[in-house]
A = this chain, B = another copy of it.
Amino acid sequence: MPSSTDGLRPADPDAGTSLGVPVSPGSGLLRPLGLAEVRIVGGFWGERQHVNGAATIAHIEYWLEREGWLGNFDAAVQGRLPGARRGREFSDSEVYKLLEAMAWEIGRTGDEAIQGRYDAIVARVAAAQEVDGYLHTNFGRPGQAPRYSDLEWGHELYCFGHLIQAAVARLRTRGDHLLVQVARRAADHVCRVFGEGGIESVCGHAEVEPALVELARATGERRYLEQARLFVERRGHHVLGDIEFGRAYFQDDVPVREAEVLRGHAVRAMYFASGAVDVAAETGDDELRDAVRGQFAATLARRTYLTGGMGSRHQDEAFGEDFVLPPDRAYSETCAAIGSVMLAWRLLLADADPAWADVIERALFNVVATSPAPDGRSFYYANTLHQRELAGVPEPDVVSARAASSLRAPWFTVSCCPTNVARTFAGLGAYVATVDDAGLQLHQYAPVRIRTRLPDGREVAVDVETDYPRSGTVRVRAAGPERQRWVLTLRVPAWAQGADVVSGGTRHAARPGAFRLEVDLAPGEEVLLELGVGPRFVWPDPRIDAVRGCVAVQRGPEVFCLESADLPDGVDVSQFRVDPAVAPTERDGRVRVRGTIGTQPDADWPYAARPWGVGEHSAPVEVPLVAYHDWANRGPSTMRVWLPTDAPTQA
């Protein structure tokens, strides 16, 4: 299965498309593996994949029916639009993301019960497609706004993008299907209407760009790639109207090649950047890829939360300026973190730089895993790093405002995050490992079963055993009938507090980055990776004004937080001051920090002519922290990731 380095890979269903690969670039240093090649068999992510398949997908189906967003397609067929239409203008996309999640889930598990439900939904969607390929329940019919009359906010091409991604997921798992035909007709329509000589504009919300490139890859049809290229190059030239938030909101302020950092609406920025890298990969446009890489690097250096969350503004769901990262109004939308995984994965495939896998790991453990409740039936949309007040528990049967809920909610008026989590979790196995001509690269650590072959035919068959991230011990065991003779590349995360690799009785000290090891393992033999995952303090760049004088705690890839549920009755997280001179410890399975609990006397005016004293402060106490992704699982609680260290002296 050669990884061609230029042009589109041929659309050969035996050559990768049926292996369940979400992103399949025609160039790049690493070849992605599909769900048929990498199977997560348990652990942190295995449990989440299980809940996703067993609960979340059905939960989404329930809400899409209940809210009428699926019914919009029926209403279109029955001529009941616009009167009967429900939901926001982009509600079609949630149906498509559900279909994408189902396709990966079917590919991952072969679940035939899901297949039947999938077919039924596809039939309803397909029936609403118009003869020229256009398919959207909110535009173009009598009484509705005309097609493409509101590119700034209409989300038509955004919805097509998710339709196409759903079709690619189907093509890459079980092959052709009615949905694939629907998506191709829609894509052909887009090429006709927005191609050379057509509407010289783009969609306010990027998404069709990466989707069209992936469809080109999956079908071998270069015109989809060309259309994506046009969209990528057009944006930034003020092709959209100005809006209250400015054109940076939809990245139409500066051409992609000239921008220096990601900006505006964080999800849009991530999807667009992903599409640009996709175009660059297929056109050999290193300048374009380098531009986006630089923007993402600047964004990580100056506009990203400790959790990997992006977007500090509620108002426009946007990045703030450099170092504007307030924990208590962190927006950090779940979908933006998923977008950062998309973008980092594309750069990892292109560059083989393990730093991109660090980015993915951070966002997955600390934002994407934070969104769903353990039962997979409620979600965070925004992921604050500081909850000051006890929140009301959202009703289990009520739609929540987008980001108002500070406990996980079952569904939102804008409900992009649950469906995005579902499609990401279902396809998660594909982000664990890659191959190149020399061997296997392990990017994420989870119990997985990997079965593939290198381009020269050598078998790669290993089982990875670990209870990462609880433990930093990862065993890579030869699991095929053949000797495993190739180069194993292990990611040593930048956060690792020491790393050793043990192979054939030899222990190697490994530094952060890529650790390469020639292996020659008989069946059952193993390589052992030991990562230091002990708890540690993390200090913020002094330019992040909002967390000056605070530290946070991480353990392995996980960010921890202090929750009021772990404090004595009546004590709030705001009362705790951590002692940064005493390193965090771990005991009885809990990460703990030392500090004092105090009470700040109230004042009529919170600004004084002398430094403030503190009231009674306790003797030093030890308090347990909780992994951030597990917060608010014990009912309403206050919470903070950043813990003040200052122990003000009495004035």
A residues lining the B interface (CB < 8 Å) = 244-246, 297, 300-302, 304, 306, 313-315, 320-324, 326-329, 355, 386, 388-389, 401-402, 404, 413, 494-495, 497, 536-550, 552, 574, 600, 602-612, 614, 642, 644, 646, 648
Question: Contact check: which of B314, B315, B574, B604 meets A301 at CB < 8 Å?
Answer: B604
B329 touches A608 (CB 8 A): no
Give the dominant DSSP class at A's interface.
Answer: loop
B606 touches A244 (CB 8 A): no
B313 touches A329 (CB 8 A): yes
Chain B residues near A602: list those with CB within 8 A. 301
A536 touches B609 (CB 8 A): yes
Question: Contact check: which of B300, B302, B537, B550 meets A548 at CB < 8 Å?
Answer: B550
B545 touches A328 (CB 8 A): yes
Q: Known contacts A548-B549, A548-B550; decide if A324 and B388 are in contact (CB<8 Å).
A: yes
Chain B residues near A323: list those with CB within 8 A. 388, 574, 606
What are 5 of the A-B contact pairs (CB < 8 Å)?
A301-B605, A543-B600, A545-B546, A545-B550, A548-B549
Chain B residues near A614: list those with CB within 8 A. 542
Q: A324-B328, A537-B609 are in contact. List 7 more A-B contacts (CB 8 A).
A: A245-B404, A301-B606, A302-B606, A326-B326, A327-B545, A494-B605, A543-B600
Closest 6 CB pairs of A and B: A541-B606, A315-B315, A314-B315, A244-B401, A549-B549, A548-B549
Chain B residues near A537: list those with CB within 8 A. 609
Question: Contact check: which of B244, B302, B328 meets A404 at CB < 8 Å?
Answer: B244
Chain B residues near A324: list those with CB within 8 A. 328-329, 388
Chain B residues near A244: list those with CB within 8 A. 401-402, 404, 413
What's the Cα separation between A546 and B326 when bound, in Å? 7
What's the Cα separation between A537 and B608 when bound, in Å? 8
What's the Cα separation between A328 and B548 when bound, in Å? 14
Chain B residues near A612: list those with CB within 8 A. 539-542
Chain B residues near A301: list those with CB within 8 A. 602-606
A611 touches B539 (CB 8 A): yes
Most buried by B among A497, A544, A611: A611
The chain B residue with its CB closest to the CB of A550 is: B548
Q: Known contacts A545-B644, A612-B539; decide if A607 and B552 are in contact (CB<8 Å).
A: yes
What's the Cα separation between A197 and B206 when bound, in Å? 52
Closest-CB distance, A347 to chain B (whole angstroms): 14
Chain B residues near A646: list those with CB within 8 A. 542, 548-549
B402 touches A603 (CB 8 A): no
A401 touches B543 (CB 8 A): no
What's the Cα separation between A388 and B544 when bound, in Å? 12
Closest-CB distance, A348 to chain B (whole angstroms): 16
Closest-CB distance, A528 to chain B (whole angstroms): 24
Question: Contact check: which of B300, B605, B610 meets A300 at CB < 8 Å?
Answer: B605
